[in-house]
Amino acid sequence: EGRPAVPQGPAQGPGARGGGPRMRRAAPPPQPKMAALKHRRTALERVEKFISEVYFTDCNLRGRLFGDRCPAASLSCFQTPRRIPYDEAVRQEFTPAKVGDSFGPTWETCWFKVELSIPPTWAGREVHFVWESDGEGMVWRDAQPVQGLTKEGEKTSYILTSSLKETEPHSMTLYVELACNGLFGAGKGSMIAPPDPDRRFTLTKAELVIFNRDVYELLVDLEILLDMAQLLGEENQRSFQALYTANQMVNVCDVSDPSTFPAARDLAAAIFSQRNGESQHTIHAVGHCHIDSAWLWPYEETIRKCARSWVTVVRLMECNPELTFACSQAQQFEWVRSWYPGLYAQIQDFVAKGRFIPVGGTWVEMDGNLPSGESMVRQFLQGQRFFQEQFGQICSEFWLPDTFGYSAQLPQLMRGCGIRRFLTQKLSWNLVNTFPHHTFFWEGIDGSRVLTHFPPGNSYEMHGRVEEMLKTVKNNKDKGRVNHSAFLFGFGDGGGGPTQKMLDRMKRMSDTDGLPRVQISTPDRLFSVLEKESSQLCTWVGELFLELHNGTYTTQAQIKKGNRECERILHDVEVLSALALARSSTFQYPTSELQRLWRLLLLNQFHDVLPGSCIQLVVEDALRYYAEIRGAGARLQEEAVQSLCGDLLQPRVGSTESTLVLNTLPWERTEVISRTGLPGFDGAPDLASPGGLREVCLSPSYWKPRSSNRSRVFFSLYSLLHCQFFLRCCFSVPLCSRESVPEGCYANQFALFDDVPLYWDAWDVMDYHLETRKPVTTLLKPLEISLAGGLRGSASFSLQIGKSSTLTQEIILDATCPYLRFLTQVEWKEAHKFLKVEFPLLVRSTNATYEIQFGHLQRPTHWNTSWDWARFEVWAHKWLDLSEHGFGVALLNDCKYGASAHRNVLSLSLLRAPKSPDATADMGHHQFTYAVMPHRGSFQDAGVIQCAYNLNFPLHPVPASSAQCPEAWSSFSVSSPAVVLETVKQAEDSPGAMVVRLYEAHGSTVVAWLRTSLPVQEATLCDLLERPVAGGCLPLEQRGIRLSFTPFRVLSLLLVLRRDATFSHLDNLEERPELKW
Ligand SMILES: [Zn+2]
């Protein structure tokens, strides 16, 4: 080495420069080389003060960052409550404005016209337009967005030129679009408090400045050396090397004389270029900007957040050829594509260069727990197809860094969508247990595995600081197994993204002894290295449960209800439309309309919307989207039914009115229905069954109707219910003759809990809420029989809950129905209370079973270990069950997700009342239904899974002309009760083909035959993106199509239909046996 590692210069006391007059440029008198004493603390603090933004800026280096300033030549503005396009904005009348003015209220937009004139004396200098405000700004130049400016995101400069030339324009007009909200909305008093509707946003700077790049570079050098000195610690000699170098740089540097800077920079470069040994950890830094698709701001603002953040990334990419940026959520790309086509074109260029990297493969970063299996598939289907269409590639990693837990079915769904890699970090938020890995294989309930990486720094918004690099290495739980990890840098959540300074920091740390190696990388490069190193990796089996935010399974009940209902609506519309298409060549499958509705539903599954952790404005948007899906869904269903059932629906003169019943589930059903609202019916219940009331059963299969004396059995139970105390819904199981509820306990017991979390109000229900349980016992209206007999019996009562809320319940028991329904209405006016309903059961089991996407899993009912009790509040889909050998009780629901099972008590979480970030959350009227189903045998054999579907997918009675009604007709059936045919839809890429999706629901290995009456010509297995699987062609046999399932396996089939075999009338079918299997 030619130079000493840490050059030691002549000692200078702190007063040397600040003191008396100095003879600049005169040769200093020769001094003896003598090392100075260095006190660690004073040396550290000296460097700190030299770069401080607060202290000594009159004489320190920081004070020299900017040179001359020049105000805007003119500034004018106009304000609007709407978010309008540029073209419309610039046509408005602008009135004079000045720095210091404030604008608002919250959510308004202020457009500024800024005339700038750069002084000619600034030739050769770097000139910035500096804009500082507490709102989020976008600079427009020549009708294009050019720079996002957000003080909170450390972006206040739009660089006009790096070196002003005479030929460059010195005068220009810029527009600044200022959103009257901060990076995190406008919470009143705290970030997650409801937005302050009257906040004002002040413009504090709008000027031209000279930017001293050489000062900036020195500041970055010193900041890193200071961090190394402080963070490597006194036990590490590298700490002292960094400190003494920094000290020497201060000695060398004369802030008023830039000619002294290069020598100081050389000192820094010398230490930064001292390299690591071969064994050092490598950090893969990837630019990132987590943008919540809606959270503390509405969806519409997110569109602008994307543009502000991404245009900034594009600017950075132009000056930093190494910068990469991982960007998730197809929806956000789609927003920018349609609202900012110019910017989008630039992004497309950088995508093609492999630098702007689409990741995740999903439509939005959805909640990882609550969406149905099919919704999860559609997140990927819509996302991956978008990325393929727009960028010619699908994503190879699933990207969900900020979601509140991850379903154990996700690994299989990822694998089915072309993804073998997964990145998140949210489990670092666990309150109780530290997750034991950062890099591991995650194995789902079906055995599918994906390579999973949690960036060990536990964040997706790093700033490229020394501290974060050291934490990444130190924290890594898989030391010795892998030596590479991810580091996502850039402001996030509210947008923002990377900054130049972050990049400049990391450039200096690329390979510096004492710090991990830092390279700007890509997710693909990281995962490729991890795959090579994967032989030593451990495997985590089952769900990635987040031990926090467990209130999000319940908060904003209307959103949860909208989600469940709209999942059902789109399922039904697809089934009916696909069958209509199969049977009529003239039917137009509503491809684009269904895509539009699915995208609305998928958007609402974003990880702060479906969980209910958003502000009121977002809730209103979400509920509007659900209303849109309900309305459009009803129209589409009507069209499909019209086409499917043809003139059966047209009442003919002289024919008696009848009812056609449509069943969109794949098994035969016999249920009591109400024909209220249909012409000619008074609302008395009817029994719908293939042999009774005329029913078009689209998909009958294995599930046998109960024996005919069933209804009598149940009505004797009903009378039992009636003579008990109102809360003691005591019932027994036919042919089993045993009680379900222990002596002295009441089922259907409501309980109210205090619900005051530590901070995250809408998100969290804490362990201690369990200590505040109060049974609800105040009766407003005693139990009274509303329907005494026949096919349906029901009784109702009302309760007072808390101080001012009320609950009315109708308990309904139908002939042939193995479960008791609780139709519930609540007027909810509580604050920080949690309402649950409990079912203490005469069942002993150490595990309860919960439905998840395309399957189920078990969780303990005891609190043995910290991992067990941390799951005091969990999620489930349509049912949960507590069973012992030969007997059990299931709880079904039509729109709830929060649940728990402790010892022998099953609880369903009904309503919460958080006040942040939406002060009105859940206030008002609620209607929901749950049901209790005692059963003999296992829940699988008892049909709990099918009953939960039945509760969620009611039969559709439609008026028909009785003379024309055919016998029951069915399109599909499955030979095994373990297999559920979940989805029937048109294939995305071939309108003449159908996709059907089935899954094994019992957790068993089974062969099932899929039979269909549709004219299927060819059947091929395909993946979840509907790409045919190699060798997946299935023979069409006499018994149907043979399908092999392992536990919880999801299979998708492409069915190509014979077009010449279409027909338009149901009754023709019976006469054309050749069309059947
Ligand atoms: Zn987020």
Residues 757, 766: contact at Cβ < 8 Å? yes
144 CA → ligand 1 middle, Å: 28
147: closest CA among 347, 303, 315? 315
- Is the link from the previous residue into 4 a cis peptide, with omega within 30 of 0? no
400 CA → ligand 1 middle, Å: 9
Please report where in the chains the tokens 């790096």 appear, as a residue.
Answer: 162
496 CA → ligand 1 middle, Å: 13
The per-residue pLDDT for 13 is 41
pLDDT tens digits for range 668-713: 888 888 776 666 666 666 766 654 443 333 332 222 223 333 332 2
Rounded-to-integer distance, Cα 608 and Cα 366, Å: 8
Given pLDDT bands bounded at 50, 70 and 90, which one contains residue 1065? very low
- Note residues around ion ligand 1 (Cβ under 5 angstroms): 292, 402
Residues 896, 948: contact at Cβ < 8 Å? no
403 CA → ligand 1 middle, Å: 7
Given pLDDT bands bounded at 50, 70 and 90, which one contains residue 783? confident
pLDDT tens digits for range 357-380: 999 999 999 999 999 999 999 999
Average confidence (pLDDT) over 273-285:
96
Largest CA distance in the chain: 122
Residues 925, 766: contact at Cβ < 8 Å? no
The DSSP call for residue 825 is E
Q: Measure the CA angle with vertex 959, ends 958 and 962; round to 5°.
A: 125
Amino acid at 610: L
492 CA → ligand 1 middle, Å: 8
Residue 292 has pLDDT above 70, yes or no: yes
Given pLDDT bands bounded at 50, 70 and 90, which one contains residue 800? very high
pLDDT tens digits for range 50-68: 999 999 999 999 999 999 9
The secondary structure element, H or E, covering residue 378 is: helix 373-391
Rounded-to-integer distance, Cα 436 and Cα 417, Å: 27
pLDDT tens digits for range 811-846: 988 877 889 999 999 999 999 999 999 999 999 999
Residue 7 has pLDDT above 60, yes or no: no
pLDDT tens digits for range 441-476: 999 999 999 999 999 999 999 999 999 999 999 999
pLDDT tens digits for range 982-994: 999 999 998 889 9
Q: Measure the CA angle with vertex 854, ends 871 and 747; round to 5°.
A: 50
Residue 84 has pLDDT above 70, yes or no: yes
Strands 774-775 and 887-893, sheet pairing: unpaired
494 CA → ligand 1 middle, Å: 8
The per-residue pLDDT for 705 is 29
Given pLDDT bands bounded at 50, 70 and 90, which one contains residue 227? very high
Mean pLDDT, rounded, of the chain = 90
Q: Residue 1021 to residues 46, 506, 997, 1013, 1053: CA-CA distances in angstroms?
A: 70, 48, 10, 19, 5
Rounded-to-integer distance, Cα 283 and Cα 469, Å: 8
| Tally of CB atoms within 10 A around 1038 | 7
Given pLDDT bands bounded at 50, 70 and 90, which one contains residue 389? very high
Note the pTM of the prediction, 2 decimals: 0.92
Residue 401 has pLDDT above 60, yes or no: yes
The per-residue pLDDT for 719 is 30
421 CA → ligand 1 middle, Å: 20
pLDDT tens digits for range 546-583: 999 999 999 999 999 999 999 999 999 999 999 999 98
The per-residue pLDDT for 677 is 65
Residues 243, 251: contact at Cβ < 8 Å? no
Given pLDDT bands bounded at 50, 70 and 90, which one contains residue 654? low
| Tally of CB atoms within 10 A around 831 | 14
Catalytic one among 227, 402, 881, 918? 402
Given pLDDT bands bounded at 50, 70 and 90, which one contains residue 789? low
Looking at 134-224, which runs of residues are DSSP E strands? 136-141, 144-149, 157-161, 171-179, 201-211
545: closest CA among 88, 858, 191, 956? 858
pLDDT tens digits for range 479-496: 999 999 999 999 999 999
pLDDT tens digits for range 240-276: 999 999 999 999 999 999 999 999 999 999 999 999 9
What percent of the chain lies above the pLDDT cut of 90? 81
- Is the link from the previous residue into 105 a cis peptide, with omega within 30 of 0? yes
Find the range with the poorest average confidence among 85-94, 133-142, 785-794.
Answer: 785-794
Average confidence (pLDDT) over 729-752:
71
292 CA → ligand 1 middle, Å: 5
118 CA → ligand 1 middle, Å: 41
431 CA → ligand 1 middle, Å: 18
282 CA → ligand 1 middle, Å: 27
441 phi and psi, to 5 degrees? -90, 135
pLDDT tens digits for range 316-331: 999 999 999 999 999 9
Rounded-to-integer distance, Cα 331 and Cα 358, Å: 12
327: closest CA among 238, 382, 399, 269? 399
The per-residue pLDDT for 699 is 30
| Tally of CB atoms within 10 A around 536 | 10
Average confidence (pLDDT) over 591-602:
98
The per-residue pLDDT for 1059 is 75
Rounded-to-integer distance, Cα 386 and Cα 392, Å: 9
Residues 1020, 970: contact at Cβ < 8 Å? no
Mark whether 402 is an active-site residue. yes
935 CA → ligand 1 middle, Å: 41
The per-residue pLDDT for 726 is 30
Average confidence (pLDDT) over 400-424:
98
State whether residue 344 is helix, strand or coil: helix
Given pLDDT bands bounded at 50, 70 and 90, which one contains residue 645? confident
342 CA → ligand 1 middle, Å: 27
Residue 12 has pLDDT above 90, yes or no: no
Residue 25 has pLDDT above 90, yes or no: no
